Amino acid sequence: MPAAVEFEPHRRLWLLTGPSTSYAVRLAADDGVRHVHWGEPVTLDQAAELADRDERTPHPAASSFEHGVGPEELPVEGGPRFGPAALRVRFADGTRAVEWRHTGARVEAESLRIDLADRHYPLAVALHYRLAGDVLERWTEVTNHGTTPIAVLRCDSAAWTVPAGPRHRLSHLVGAWSSEFRLQRADLPTAETVLTSRRGVTSHHANPWLAIDDGTAGEEHGEVFSAALAWSGSWRITVHRDPSGRAGFTGGFGHEGLSWTLAPGETLETPVFAGLHTRSGFGGASRSWHRYVRDEILPETRETRPVLYNSWEATGFDVDEAGQLALAARAAGLGAELFVMDDGWFGARTSERAGLGDWTPNPHRFPRGLAPLAAEVRRLGMRFGLWLEPEMVNPDSDLYRTHPDWVLHMPHRRRTEMRHQLVLNLGRPDVAAWTHQWLDALVGDLGLDFLKWDANRPFTEAGWPGHPDPDRVHLAHTRAVYQIMDRLRADHPGLRIESCAGGGGRADLGILRRTDQVWPSDNTDAVDRIAIQHGFGQLFPARVMGAWVTDSPNVTTGRVIPLRFRFHVAMAGVLGLGGNLTAWTTEELKEAAGLVAAYKVVRPVVQHGTAYRVSGGGTLTGVHYVLGADQVILAWCPSRPYGHTPGPLRLTAVDPQGVYRDLDTGATHSGAALLTSGLPLDLPAGDHASVLVRLTRIDDSE
């Protein structure tokens, strides 16, 4: 069912309805846009009933201290509003509040635009809504129609309201370098809870995704509201719950304290803040997000991602032609389809101390340039890609010696170095043009198939000396990254991009509009990776989740893990190889080649199927992918405390009436048995046990 937008003029009520969701808003007497409904589909009459209830609800209530205006779609600073403001502006005469005047609305197929203006000042605001399946995209535009600047102190994409109740629970993602995407689920306090990045990138520490439930939802049941911001720079989401149980959240780009001076005639448009509602629990929410990412976000929607090899953990900065050729030969022998040379190939980049910004091959390491390596990689049957860090510069580089003013900096302030590097100000058109130019030439000259686009430090001293509105750098830099990627893709249609920021520091719906996969973490320890992938998969589908098999003991954790377990964990996403293959034994190479081949068999189901998270007793967890009649189960049991046998692993996504055959053992299982007593698992004894099971449905009723 295509989405529809209806209007009820008497109540000035709009209703957006998708396949299993409705969203309704209305104009209040003061012309503010009030929230009416977010949940299952309702008719226009039912929405009208809900609107009337809201109209009758006493806001303000009992005392002069309890004044309020009810749930709004973009609460402004001003009037009797004391919660987090989604729009804060200051006019030239010092007035800060906004008072609304409705000026129009436009309904198009699946979208709605509500136009508002300030009652006195020349500020226009448009609230945008677009239903993409059951995901509602929302964003805001503010325009200065006057002749003097207006300071925009905060402009969120949207404010969302969830039903009031005795309890709310907040799910969100936290982490750090090497431990990204760890899922936190806890009661939402009666307070304002801020999720934010002040780092200029999405960040390892928090991700602009959240889910709210009433404390009773589970993996496959219960009402869940979830939202994600499509932005790759600093951001802020404020979640609030008041003592009477009303709750919601507002979010957008930029962290607190930044401002944007809106020039006469100028419009500021926010990124999309997307939201969804489901009664199918956290798993249902994830599957809706995965569908949305696949159908609405990714630039290449149907492609199957290749098995890549990446040189980083094998060589560090120590790359040269002979070494890369040796790795390439091994990688091709294992079945890799894409060879990516990581850091260390350019300028004086023999360590993290120098060379960033000088994007020409190191003449000692690659005396013949990169073309012979690229040609040999292709002769071996693989595509060729390179690591780059286009937004950064080492002070010890020709680029910085020539253009010390190109970096983010502030007069009279130190330039804080992290990993011996500074951030280029891509908000500057000249710096962005230079960046695009060298990237375009490099991609064109070598016919590059793949870029790993890295960014290894946050912003500090994020100034723009000489610019009249220096805070703009936060928005302008991220937008420039987007524009450069978009142009590269348009001009080089075969080019694919991996988003990386020291691992998972830049994973969001904004970057995924122009990239194909994400590097979720520099932590490649398969045991740690289970939790990282669990958090990552709340929002992102397997087809964008890069996952390498690397050496054992693991370079970061020192943990020793069998090859099979490492593979089974990495097979849950886009499989890659990242170890020093020249040191692998003949037996390891043979086993690895077999596992790569096994991945290629299940890859269509993993990358294009629907994912159901499953868990058994103890540490047993897994993912069950379904594509038509084909099913793939990857399950991992990292440890077996007290020697207890883990299980059962109940498969929630099977039809109880169906019959399923295990393609490797030939055993058949009824759907009813898989659902109730679970999948019989042939888990090896001891720690680090894992299985890959392939089932196909064999009854005709499918």
Chain contacts with ligand DGJ (rule: CB under 6 A): 312, 342-343, 387, 454, 456, 500, 502-503, 519, 522
Q: How far is the CB of 693 from ligand DGJ (least distance, A)?
A: 31
- Say how far residue 78 (Cα) sits from the centre of its chain: 33
Give how far Cα 514 sits from Cα of 228, 232, 426, 486, 490, Å.
17, 12, 17, 6, 10
> Angle at CA 672, nearest 5°, toward 671 and 673?
90
Closest by CA position to 48, among listed 26, 30, 66: 26
Question: Which residue's entry shows tokens 């710096």?
Answer: 431
Q: Is 454 one of the catalytic residues? A: yes
DSSP, collapsed to helix, strand or coil, labels residue 687 as coil
Q: How far is the CB of 496 from ligand DGJ (least distance, A)?
A: 16
H or E stretch covering 257: none
Residue 189 DSSP one-character state: P
The β-bridge partners of 89 are 152
Choosing from 343, 449, 454, 662, the catalytic residue is 454
- Pick 38 or 312: Cβ nearer ligand DGJ: 312
Q: How far apart are CA 616 and CA 296, in angstroms?
A: 33
H or E stretch covering 672: helix 671-676
Q: How far is the CB of 165 from ligand DGJ (least distance, A)?
A: 41
Q: How far is the CB of 338 from ligand DGJ (least distance, A)?
A: 15
Q: How far is the first Cα of the chain from the last one, in angstroms, to the nearest whole number?
A: 22
H or E stretch covering 10: none
Q: Would you state the structure tokens that stand for residue 216, as one six-digit string? A: 């009773």
Q: How far apart are CA 54 and CA 160, in angstroms?
A: 16
Q: How far is the CB of 592 from ligand DGJ (least distance, A)?
A: 20
- Pick 51 or 356: Cβ nearer ligand DGJ: 356
- Pick 499 or 619: Cβ nearer ligand DGJ: 499
Q: Is 551 one of the catalytic residues? A: no
Choosing from 54, 118, 343, 522, the catalytic residue is 522
- Pick 71 or 503: Cβ nearer ligand DGJ: 503
H or E stretch covering 435: helix 429-446
Q: Would you state the structure tokens that stand for residue 454, as one six-digit string? A: 């890295």
- Pick 96 or 353: Cβ nearer ligand DGJ: 353
Q: How far is the CB of 340 from ligand DGJ (least distance, A)?
A: 9
Cis amide prior to 271 (ω within 30 degrees): no
Q: How far apart are CA 697 and CA 680, in angstroms?
A: 16
Backbone angles phi, psi at 265, to 5 degrees: 85, -5
- Pick 95 or 351: Cβ nearer ligand DGJ: 351
- Pick 208 or 520: Cβ nearer ligand DGJ: 520
β strands within 537-598, DSSP E: 546-549, 574-577
Closest chain position to ligand DGJ (CB): 343
Closest by CA position to 179, among listed 552, 562, 534: 534
* Cα dihedral value 295, 297, 300, 306, nearest 10: -100
Catalytic machinery residues: 454, 522
